[in-house]
Amino acid sequence: MGYSVLMPLAPWEPPVQVAAALQSLIDQSLPPEQVVVSCDGAPSQALVAVLDATSLPVEMVLGPGGEGVGPVLARGLHACTQELVVRADADDLSLPERCEIQVAAMQAKPLLVVLSTPILEFIHSPQAPCGLRAVPVGAALLQRRSRWSNPLNHPAVILRRQEVLAAGNYRDCSGFEDYELWLRLLHQGALLDNLKQPLVLARVGDDHLARRRGAAYVRKEWRFLVGCGRAGSLSWPRVALLLILRTPIRLMPAALQRRLTQRMLRLRPPG
């Protein structure tokens, strides 16, 4: 079975990192049938040169810019031609066996709608991972985790296109596009799960943490959680509890939040 890759692209992405992400797709043991690069505005000439130079079957989908990740992914998913769609970020690396393993897992479980994996994080070199972003394995455990936090790693996801489109596709939910979609799918009875094996190397740094703190992020999180309460994907008591627990974390000093996040959400890499 063939698959498409869906990669969102911001105009400011460093061309060298995009080239590395594309090379990791070239190196897949099961090559993609299509790579949809959904652009949040016109890419720079340097990025266009990288996309033109790759041997991958790239299809660029252009948007007006400034839309945010949700609309960019929604437009890109419509452009995908294969039923199985692998999500890939423009600054991350997929291990060579990633797509073959995930496609086989989806073929083995036809009712599975979304599947992700743990992620190995690195700062400077992918050969020196600094952390493991773990995820719950098993549909029941994933369902329980989803009431507290995002139960899947978005850059490591493979999904079934038609099922996601039927559920309403990605929506404009700044900072929470994927989590909102997972909760909506779970609320509708879809089967989601994770594999135990890390298959993606994710580039991280202080800027990743900075995007998840501060008053502006608190406002986004409040809008997201209240929206989930209104949609019924989270109960109102759960929404209230999450607001009480998360708001102080988002507003604490960056150094303290970093230590807390590493303690609660990250594990040491294996080996």
- Helical pair 215-231 and 236-251, crossing angle rounded to 10 deg: 170
Q: Residue 118: phi, psi to the nearest 5?
A: -60, 160
In whole angstroms, give the CA distance from residue 102 to residue 50: 27
Q: What Cα–Cα distance (Å) separates residue 183 from each residue in 16, 111, 228?
A: 34, 17, 8
How far, in Å, CA of 170 to CA of 40, rounded? 15
How far is residue 13's CA from residue 16's CA, in Å, rounded to a whole number?
9
The CATH number given to 3-205 is: 3.90.550.10
- Measure CA 57 to chain center: 22
Q: Kindly report the pTM of this predicted structure.
A: 0.91
| Confidence category of residue 97, pLDDT binned at 50, 70, 90 | very high
> Per-residue pLDDT tens for 49-73?
999 999 999 999 999 998 999 999 9
Q: Is the pLDDT of residue 206 over 80?
A: no
Taking the C-alpha atoms of residue 35 and residue 247, their distance in angstroms, rounded to an integer, is 38
The DSSP bridge partners found for residue 4 are 34, 85
Query: pLDDT tens digits for 165-179?
Result: 999 999 999 999 999
What are the residue boundaries of the structural domains of the chain, listed by start?
Answer: 3-205
